[in-house]
Structure 1
Amino acid sequence: MADSPGPAGCPRAAPAVEPVLFLGTVALGLQAPLCTQFLWDRLGAELGYNGSAASGSAGCGNASGAGDLRQQELETLASHWNLYINLAGFFVGLFSVTLFGPWSDSVGRRPALILPAVGMALQAAIYLLVMYLRLHVGYFLLGRILCGLMGDYNLILASCFAYVADISDQRSRTFRIAILEACLGVAGMLASIIGGQWRKAQGYINPFWLVFAVSLAAALYAALCLQESVKERKPAKLFTLSHYVSVYRLYAAPGYQRSRQKLALYSLTFFLIVTIHFGAKDVFVLYELSSPLCWGSDLIGYGSAASYLTYLSSLAGLRALQLCLEDAWVAELGLLSNVSGLVVISLASTTPLMFTGYGILFLSMAATPVIRAKLSKLVDEKDQGALFASVACVEGLCSLVATGVFNALYPASLHFMKGFPFLFGAIILLVPAALIGWIEILDTTPRYGHFTDAS
């Protein structure tokens, strides 16, 4: 824990990075579904489609003939624009996160928290200009690129998790990381409920002003109130290849081969789990907007809130299950919950069945804090920034792959099974379940007992 006092005007208490993550997640939780709905409405108006559930029309479920073809055309177009906008940010963010993360190991975490929050505020400002001036939705690409250059939301995640690793011991780290992930759930749930109701009452512009405001608030909190967690700070150049080399060394430097293998395998499991999580989220709104569900913005808000509620239920489940199970087996139960929920959602044709699927996902977020904690314990304290930068890099790649696969798979599967992307995700999750079980079994074998401390 950092010994230096906080900035003037703020209490000298234990470091609390949760407000930064909370505010950043509120901004993202408001922006993501609203952006998809805005694309749906704007592109639907250009196509002359009047059956949008988001606009409250009763014609969604009764679309047939030319109307049904037009709905499919709109779904495909909106899905593709989601793909283009996300690609624009992720390609840039993939490199900026791995630059800023290792840099924060030297200069401290606070700069790596301020920059992406400012970037999210700039992105919201550009989105507002598009709405006020009725510019083409292609200008959303500019906002995503600027945000990506400053690290994007993934850098906030990486810096917050590195911050928690700085101030926690190995014994408590899994639960501390789970608490941080629970902040994601609380913020996302709040943002989803507010966003859905607010959009229905006042349209898109006012909710996006809130996105701008909370992004700025996150930057100001990190700049003025947050204590530094890096004990020994030192000046370091930002634009240098050494930051990328430090990430590479985590996986390739000489050392215990078993530890490097576990680092790679846990990174692979994390990649698969988060890819499915991001991919499913990308198409949830489109799946809910169109027939047979035909949800309005209020139900979409409640659905997003239900998906974020899994962070809190997973935290409670993790805490309870840790009393009788090893962390790895808790992660396995989380994956079982995830697979079962996605299977139910893939078959959902009614609102009660869709919410049943959300309910079954109650433990689905238990796996990711376990994997983050295990990865953190495999590297030195001085490399936590580089590690979580690499994890954020993996998350950026997850978003890239998820956006490409699911936004392409969804329109391609409309003619034979609308929920096929969720079923596909459930099948893929069997792979990380097998990998985690295999690593845990090897670790409990006497032959590998001397590697246990590294896990």
Structure 2
Amino acid sequence: MSREERRSLLHETDTVKPPFDDTDTPPAGDTVTFPTDTVTPPAGDTVAPPTGTFTTTTNSTQTCVSPPATEFRKAHAMFLPVTLLLYVSVGIGYFTTQQWIQHYVKIKLGFKNDSMPGCNASKNSTRYKDFHEVERQTAQWSMYVTLASMVPSFFASAIVSSYSDSVGRKFLFVLFSGSTTIRLTLCSLAIYFKWDLIWIVVAIRLDGLSGSTHTSGSAAMAYLADLTSSGHHRTMALTMNDGFQMICVTLSLVVAGVFVRQFGFLLPMIVCAGMACFAFMLTLCFLPESHGRQNRSEAQSVCRTLLRMTDIYTSRSFNQNKAPYLILIFCYFFQELVGTHRTSIEILYQLGQPFCWSADKIGVFSAARHATQGLAGLVFIVPLKRCMSESYIAAMSAFFNTGSFILEALAKSDIILYLVPVLATFGFLAIPMFKSLLSRMTPADKQGSLCASIAAMQCLCGVVASFLFSQIYRATVTVFHGFVFLILAGLAGLVLVLIVVYRITQSPDVEDEGDEMENDVSIQTAER
């Protein structure tokens, strides 16, 4: 069906009756489903797209093109300062916590200065053995910290994200900013009084009961989905949000590296707690709700809320989308798996031989990688989207991501290692592309459930990555320092293979057709 034919059909919906009634069979090939307010779907089926939603159906998949659920107002711009404060406070807090763990381990083992014992020593010396003991215990406590957050987050984020379909999105921001304030305050007390590292684990465990950073990711995705139309506009919004997050992480890493070196560990953690508290007050008082009551689903029990995540996979009306949808889910899983624990592994990698980096050099490297990836999301997504579909952008991202892991594994000097951020520039773009494609294929009343599914996968990836890659690093660090990055490269390459499989299940122009339908809907809305 040509672009002109689709636009003509869209205009005819206001004045011309559909060419077939409920008892007729739609014409073969491409069809247009006309919106209605009176049709009740069979029990157990996915609710049909709401009035104003236009659906284009091809032989392989169905793409829902719908206007924003909530009209954007200036007050919604409060989303930016709230997320800025939260992203920066979480970034500084994470970096400071990782550095404090190693600092505390060295104190417990009797090393009173900040230099890594035996980092440049001979492999047969006692100092070299001390160095590996510090690395081993640091990696072990880092794993405990990650598991303390990810295990409860797996269940909590799934529940609270799904509940946002019933109670609204603002609830997610209030919950996350409040729990982050409590976590950072407890970590500040642990650093000030030099409590055992178990108190850091306890603080992070309490934050995990609210879903931790996965609740924040679900909140941002659902909030933007409410304010944008599906397709091109939502892709841009989600990518720019992820790019904005990368820029905030860059800022936090630079600031944290300087703060830790100049003022120690306590002041950065106190500043983080203050920023999170301020974000909590802004959210509570000024951030408007994006999910109106008229669009909310009925509140349900906890068990039913958890099961609701599976509706988009089990509904009979979703059968034609099931194969490509599941492939995209697996693509997202492996892409998230290789990225979720990368920074933690890189910190251990750079602290050890042959690099022996200090905190400020680690901060510069992490800032460089996140900055280049953030700029890719904010600057390059517009020209890339004009000439490439989401799946092709994701494939390019997976290719560069694989290359960056291989380069990092084989790096033997600082110069080579500093080239990793350059190669990883487009490495994160696959994440927002997968989110956009999944959101486009999901009905409006199940966006919260999709966010919950994504949050659950993020938690699962966090648990698996923390345990798996930390154990691989500990087991192979004396044999081949960068072996863990070769494993990551293999998994990133698997994402590229799955994208190829996804393209095979799709008709060649399905993504472009969805974008054209979205543009047609926008034109029709403007003309009205």
Q: TM-score, normalised by structure 1?
A: 0.92
The alignment status of 1:61 with 2:123, answered yes or no, reads: no
Matches within 5 A, 1:396-411: 396-411=459-474
Instruction: Give the helix-richer structure, 1 or 2.
Output: 1
1-structure distance, mates of 2:411, 2:464: 25
Q: Indicate the larger mover: 242-251 or 387-396.
A: 242-251
CA contact (8 A) 1:185 1:309 kept: yes
Matches within 5 A, 1:249-268: 249-268=311-330
Look up the equivalent residue of 1:390 and give its one-letter code.
S
Offset at 1:314?
Answer: 2.2
Offset at 1:306?
Answer: 1.1
Matches within 5 A, 1:29-428: 29-49=91-111, 55-56=114-115, 60-64=119-123, 65-170=125-230, 171-232=232-293, 240-315=302-377, 316-428=379-491
Offset at 1:313?
Answer: 3.1
Look up the equivalent residue of 1:89 and give its one-letter code.
S
2-structure distance, mates of 1:210, 1:357: 31
Which of residues 499, 504, 517 in structure 2 aligns to 1:436? 499
CA contact (8 A) 1:280 1:421 kept: no
Offset at 1:195?
Answer: 0.2
Offset at 1:40?
Answer: 0.8
3-state secondary structure, aligned to 1:101: helix
Offset at 1:366?
Answer: 1.1
Look up the equivalent residue of 2:371 and give its one-letter code.
L
Look up the equivalent residue of 2:252 and give its one-letter code.
A
- RMSD value over aligned CA atoms? 2.4
Offset at 1:349?
Answer: 2.1
Deviation digits for residues 282-303 of structure 1, max 9, x if unmatched? 2111111122111111111101
3-state secondary structure, aligned to 1:365: coil
Offset at 1:445?
Answer: 5.2
CA contact (8 A) 2:117 2:131 kept: no
3-state secondary structure, aligned to 1:320: helix
1:235/1:162 CA distance change after superposition, 3 Å:
closer
CA contact (8 A) 1:186 1:312 kept: yes
CA contact (8 A) 1:184 1:311 kept: no
3-state secondary structure, aligned to 2:460: helix
CA contact (8 A) 1:24 1:153 kept: no
Look up the equivalent residue of 2:428 and give its one-letter code.
M
2-structure distance, mates of 1:363, 1:4: 32
CA contact (8 A) 2:169 2:290 kept: yes
Deviation digits for residues 299-320 of structure 1, max 9, x if unmatched? 1110110121133232123322
Look up the equivalent residue of 1:74 and give its one-letter code.
V
2-structure distance, mates of 1:350, 1:58: 20
- Structure 2: give runs of 5+ residues left out of the alignment: 1-67, 518-528
Deviation digits for residues 131-187 of structure 1, max 9, x if unmatched? 111111011121112101122111011011011011111231111101100111111
2-structure distance, mates of 1:303, 1:248: 40
Deviation digits for residues 295-349 of structure 1, max 9, x if unmatched? 1111111011012113323212332222222121111111111111111111122
Query: Where has structure 1 moved over 4 Å in runs of 4 or more?
Result: 1-6, 56-59, 233-239, 449-455
Offset at 1:226?
Answer: 1.2
Look up the equivalent residue of 2:315 and give its one-letter code.
A
1:412/1:165 CA distance change after superposition, 3 Å:
same
Look up the equivalent residue of 1:397 and give its one-letter code.
L
2-structure distance, mates of 1:162, 1:140: 30
Deviation digits for residues 356-384 of structure 1, max 9, x if unmatched? 11211111111111000001011111111
3-state secondary structure, aligned to 1:323: helix
Offset at 1:236?
Answer: 6.0
Offset at 1:63?
Answer: 5.0
2-structure distance, mates of 1:129, 1:399: 26
1-structure distance, mates of 2:100, 2:116: 16
Q: Which structure has the larger Rg over C-alpha atoms?
A: 2
1:135/1:226 CA distance change after superposition, 3 Å:
same
2-structure distance, mates of 1:266, 1:21: 27
3-state secondary structure, aligned to 1:255: helix
3-state secondary structure, aligned to 2:203: helix
1:357/1:194 CA distance change after superposition, 3 Å:
same
1:323/1:33 CA distance change after superposition, 3 Å:
same
CA contact (8 A) 1:282 1:406 kept: no
- Structure 1: give runs of 5+ residues left out of the alignment: 7-11
Offset at 1:258?
Answer: 3.2
| Percent pairwise identity | 21
CA contact (8 A) 1:117 1:153 kept: no
3-state secondary structure, aligned to 2:425: helix
Offset at 1:442?
Answer: 2.6
Offset at 1:418?
Answer: 0.5
